A = this chain, B = another copy of it.
Amino acid sequence: MTERLVVVGGDAAGMSAASQARRRCSADDLEIVAYERSSWVSYSACGEPYHVAGLVDPLEALVARTPEEFAAQDIRVHTRHEVTAVNTTSRTVTVRRFDDGHLFDDHYDQLMIATGARAVRPQITGYDLQGVHELRTLDDAARLRRIADRGPSTVVIIGGGYIGLETAEAFHLQGWDVTVVSAHPGVLERMLDPDLSATVVDAMRQRGIRVITDTRVDCIVGLDMVEAVDLGSGERTPTTTVVLGIGSRPEVDLAEAAGIPLGPTGAIAVDSTQRTSVDGVWSAGDCAEVRHRLTGKPANIHLGTVANKTGRVAGINLGGGSATFPGALGTAITRICDIEVGTVGLRMSDALAEGFDAVEGTAHGTTTAGYMPEASPMSIRAVAERGSGRLLGAQIVGGPGAGKRVDVFATAIWNSMTAVDLEWTDLSYAPPFSGTWDLVAIAAREADRRAR
């Protein structure tokens, strides 16, 4: 008998699941149908700022696979179709087709909920004015690119997270006058301690991007269209374009209404096979929880890496294979104005909040041997557990070559390495790449000293 898999949400997690299930099951055994609200499936949301910046063209370059390509694999994809309700008793979903408003029910045997996340809306008036944008979907990216192309003007970015800063740089590259407003003491507040984020702020300011930290937005001013942004400092910044970059939260309305249990983070609770506690219902990606490998607790991490991996796990299991998601460390990376930033695991403040007796060691150096012409400043902070010396996290900020060093820490933490063990690991060295002791090892040494 043919089973029917319905996938809700056609980006990384949903389509990874569909593809993996199809690799293991022919269409005779498993029908696969995916519904996606936007006009696009299987696209790189992380690449959107580079389209806005004019660096990646056309928009379609960000699409990994089209509905037609999925159709060739017997995966039917319906874009501009929104699943508005799930009935887990009758095993049906209600679907609205955007183009004509048509509503219909569809049956599932297995349901994959991959509804992703949505932008956090600020608690201020004016956020719904015309001219206030966010950058999540490809449709958003297309819209912001049209605006950017319309010619340089003034844009205010509310929020200093990586999407906000990448968007700020994109408009700056398009010749715009850019202001970023961060409510925090620094920027990239989920990646870096404020002192380390100063390197990013300095680089942005050197390029001519205005960065205002420690300042809230009071309201966005305008009648129908945005006219200005009022800051908590009393300053009014005139602008006709605002981009919200204050984070995202899991899109769980559909699941919640269907009685699919959420976890303590507010995202959908799943086990390590990506099954929810409701029979036949699975979830993966931004809308679902994952286990944090360091805390052992549920976490909700909105990153393409986690979405792809959890989607893949779900798909392998849906296809009759066996896979478990081994947990996440929150490893993340970005590049802002040529400054690379990497983060993994827990910062000191996170670690203390989680009950770890944590210490930190910081090393300042250069991306290459100090005497090389391309040497650029780099700082690495490692967090470790006092006594055991076990590594708990790392932050890296610096010029070209700095960011990807975070993967060394990720691999070390994955293996529960101690700081001293990482210090002595046989890491590579040549003058274009590091000093004889890579700054990774020196930061680990600093953390080890404090952990003893």
A332 vs B421: C-alpha distance when bound (angstroms): 19
Contact with B along A27-62 (1 / 0, CB 8 A): 000000000000000001011001000011000011
Given known contacts A436-B12, A438-B407, A372 and B55 CB-to-CB distance under 8 angstroms: yes
Interface pair A428/B342, CB less than 8 Å apart: yes
Question: How many residues of A are in contact with the other chain, CB < 8 A?
Answer: 66
Residues of chain B with a CB closer than 8 A to A411's CB: 408, 411-412, 415, 417, 422, 425, 427
Does any Cβ of B come within 8 Å of A335's Cβ? yes
Interface hit among A128-136, A179-187, A221-229, A301-309: A301-309
Of all A-B residue pairs in the complex, the 3 with the closest CB atoms, nearest first, are: A333-B428, A415-B415, A61-B371
- A306 nearest in chain B by CB position: B426
23 A-B pairs with C-beta separation under 8 A: A47-B369, A50-B372, A62-B371, A162-B430, A293-B426, A309-B424, A325-B424, A326-B424, A329-B426, A333-B428, A333-B429, A333-B433, A335-B433, A404-B433, A407-B407, A407-B408, A407-B427, A407-B428, A407-B438, A408-B408, A410-B427, A411-B427, A412-B415
CB proximity of A60 to chain B, nearest CB, Å: 10
What residues make up the interface of A, taking CB atoms closer than 8 Å to B?
12, 44, 46-47, 50, 55-56, 61-62, 162, 293, 303-306, 308-309, 325-335, 340, 342, 344, 369, 371-373, 400-401, 403-408, 410-412, 414-415, 417, 421-422, 424-434, 436-438, 440
Interface pair B410/A414, CB less than 8 Å apart: no
